[in-house]
Amino acid sequence: MSASATPVSAPAPHHYTALGIDSRKIAIWAFIGSECMLFVSLISTYLIYKGRSIVGPFPHETWTDPATGRVLKPILNIPVTSASTFVLLMSSLFMVLALAAVQNKEKPKQTRGERILGNSKLWLWMTAMAGTTFLGFQAFEFTSFVHEGLTIRTNLFGSSFFTLTGFHGAHVTAGVLWLVTLLAIDYRRGLGSRDSLLVDIAALYWHFVDVIWIVIFTLVYLIK
| Residues within the interface to other proteins (CB under 8 A) | 11, 14, 16, 18-22, 25-26, 29-30, 32-34, 36-37, 39-41, 43-44, 47-48, 50, 78, 82, 85-86, 89-90, 92-93, 95-97, 100, 103-104, 106-107, 117, 193-194, 196-197, 203-204, 207-208, 210-211, 214-215, 217-219, 222-224
Which one, 170 or 211, has the nearer CB to other proteins? 211
Pairing of β 71-72 and β 63-64: antiparallel
- In the bound state with other proteins, the residue whose beta carbon lies nearer, of 41 and 151, is 41
The least distance separating other proteins from the CB of residue 20, rounded to whole angstroms, comes to 3
Q: Residue 27 and residue 161: Cα distance in Å, rounded?
A: 30
Counting every residue written for the chain, the total comes to: 224
Give min distance, CB of 30 to other proteins, in A.
6
210 φψ region: left (φ > 0), alpha (ψ -120 to 50), beta (else) = alpha
Distance between CA atoms of residues 120 and 193, nearest Å: 11
The nearest distance, CB 63 to other proteins, in angstroms, is 19
Question: Do the Cβ atoms of 163 and 170 come closer than 8 Å?
Answer: no
Q: Give whichever of 39 and 134 is closer to other proteins, judged by the CB atom.
A: 39
Least separation in angstroms between CB 80 and other proteins:
11
**Cβ-contact 62, 74 below 8 angstroms:** yes
Query: 142 or 208: whose CB is closer to other proteins?
Result: 208
Q: How far is the CB of 160 from other proteins (least distance, A)?
A: 13
> Rounded to whole angstroms, how far apart are CA atoms 58 and 124?
38
Query: Which of 22/125 has CB closer to other proteins?
Result: 22
Q: Where are the alpha helices (DSSP H) in the chain?
A: 23-49, 78-103, 112-117, 120-147, 156-188, 196-216
- Report the residue number, 112 or 147, with the smaller CB distance to other proteins: 112
CB of 15 to other proteins, least distance (A): 10
**What is the DSSP code string of 161-187?**
HHHHHHHHHHHHHHHHHHHHHHHHHHH
